[in-house]
Every structure is written in C-alpha cells, then in structure tokens.
Amino acid sequence: MAESNCTQATEFSLTGFTEDPVTEVTLFLMFLLTYLVTILGNLGMVVLIRASPQLHSPMYYFLGNLAFVDLCSSTIITPKMLVDFLSEKKGIAYAGCVAQVFLFDLFGMTECFLLAMMAYDRYVAICHPLVYPLVMSPKCCFQLVAGSYLVGLTNGVGQTIGLSNLSFCGSSIINLFFCDISPLISLSASDTTLSRVILRTSASFFGVSSSLVVLVSYMAIISAILSISSAKGKRKAFSTCASHLTTVSIFYGTSLFMYLKPSSDSSREEDKWAAVLYTVVTPMLNPLIYSLRNKEVKEALRRL
C-alpha cells in the first residue's frame, strides 16, 4: 500500500566527491585536462586509423572501435561531472539518469568484449601466425566487433528494464558522481529482486566470460613467448602484453569490484575512486598505452 501511494522521484541528487570549493575547483581542472586528453587521444586515433592504409589491419580495426567506445563512454559521464563541480545543486532528471544508465552499460560491456577480442587477435597472431589472415579475415573481424556491440546493447536494455521496475519514493541522493545501476538499486523503495538478478547475471555471465577469453588467450601467448629463443623477441612480446594487461586489469578489476561486491558495501567512499578508474582514467590511458608506443602508429603520424 505504501508503495502504491508513493510519489515517484523526478530528479536525483549526486553527492560528487567533496563540498569544499577549493577542492572542487582543483578536481574540476584535473578532470577537465583528463577529458581533453581523452577526446584528443581517442578521436585522433580513430582518424589516424581510418586515414592510414598501413593501419588497415585487424589489430587496428579493433583498436579504432575501442577508441570510439572510450570516447563515447567518457562523454556520457565526464561533461556532467564537470558541470556539477561548478554548480551548487548537483542534480540529474530521472529521464537523464535512465539514459545515462543505458548508454554507460551499453558501452561499458562493449568495451569488455572488445578487449577480449583484442586478446584473441593477439593469441591468433602469436600462436597461429600461418592461419592468421584466414582466421582474422575482414568478415570475421566485423562479426566480432558487431557481436561486441550487440552484447553491449543487450546489457544496456536489460539494466534499463530492471531500472524501470524500481520505485524511488524516499531518498533521492545517489552517493556517486553519475547514475549507476548498483547505487540506484540500493536507493529503491520497491522490490529489487529482479534488478539484482539482472545485474548479477549480466556481470557474472558477460563480464566473467570476456575475462576468461582474455585470461586463456594470454596464458597461451605467454607459453608461446617463453618458447621464443631470441631474448629481444621475448622482451618485445612481453612489453606488448604488459601494456595490454595493465589496461585490462584496471578495467576488469574495478568493474567486477563495483558490480559483484556485496550490496552492504555499496555506499563506501572507495567506490567513487574505483569508478573514476574505469570511467575517466582508463579511456584516457587506452590510446596512450596501446598506440603511442607503437612504431607503426608513430610512422603513420609522420607520414600524415
């Protein structure tokens, strides 16, 4: 009866990071610089890959899509966060909150599978180089990328359906700097069973399966690298793996921590900084650690 008489919230308040004006200005400048580097790095990477024929290979095809996804996922979160740093009232409309949840979950899960596809691409290139052109054909690469977007869309729709079944009649304060499904579930005054099942199923099935692809691929890659007789070849291969695994560890580690942790821990302050890693920092780092250390990318830049 109480739930039927409640008035649905039309706006949510975001707590952000701090209420100290000096600290807010400092964080604003820091995140603004991070966002500008993210935009320039990822947009530049997309343009460079499309404009350079020598980069028209499966690895850079995946990398171009990863840069596009990073560009989109960062733009969903960071501009609103920057506005809130300069506003006294840190609020977001219900419709805007739903849209943010849908788009963020769509691109977030897409990135999970793109990272997994990139690991699989490296596995085929290092462990089965003779059949690489046949296995990673343009048609196969398109299907893998399209499948990644389809999984992301499925995740976004599922989380949005779970969110649409929730009622928010009491507190409308989200202890985070953006609308995320996990704190919204904790905030709801209605039965959250369906939403929690969708969240845990999605995180477990999609997230864990893509993580296993990365793990198994790199176990095979490391085994193949150890069999290389040249010390120089080993160093080069291990350097490439270390860069990829650094980003994968940050993205997967913080994501799985956020969505698979016990619900009783959902209000901890550490969650905000864990979320910063995969919403703000990782999209900025990806074009740097994947591309700027790559000789082919540097050569393409010089030619342009």
Which is more confidently placed, 277 or 290? 277
3-state secondary structure 132-163: HHHHCCHHHHHHHHHHHHHHHHHHHHHHHHHH
- Summarize pLDDT for 44-76 with one digit per residue, the tens: 889 988 988 888 888 889 989 999 999 999 999
Max mean pLDDT range (89-103, 230-244, 278-292):
89-103
Beta bridge mates, 14: 174
Q: How far apart are CA 263 and CA 267, in angstroms?
A: 9
Interval 168-189: pLDDT, tens = 776 678 888 888 888 888 787 7
Q: Report the alpha-carbon distance of residue 129 to residue 225 in Å, rounded.
A: 13
Task: Reply yes or no on domain 11-295 having CATH 1.10.10.10.
Answer: no
- Whole-number percent of the chain with pLDDT over 90: 24
Note the pLDDT of residue 29.
Answer: 93
Query: What is the rounded distance in angstroms from the CA atom of residue 252 to the CA atom of residue 116?
Result: 11
pLDDT on residue 1: 43
Inter-CA distances, 128 with 89, 120, 134, 209, 279, Å: 56, 11, 11, 22, 34
Domain residue spans of the chain: 11-295
State the Cα–Cα distance between residues 95 and 292, nearest whole angstrom: 39
pLDDT at 162 over 80: yes
Q: What is the pLDDT of residue 235?
A: 74
What is the arithmetic mean of pLDDT over 254-263?
61
Give the per-residue pLDDT at 266: 46
What is residue 54's predicted lDDT score, i.e. its pLDDT? 84
**Is the pLDDT confidence value at 36 over 90?**
yes
Q: Answer whether residue 268 shows pLDDT above 80.
A: no
Does 2 score more than 50 pLDDT?
Answer: no
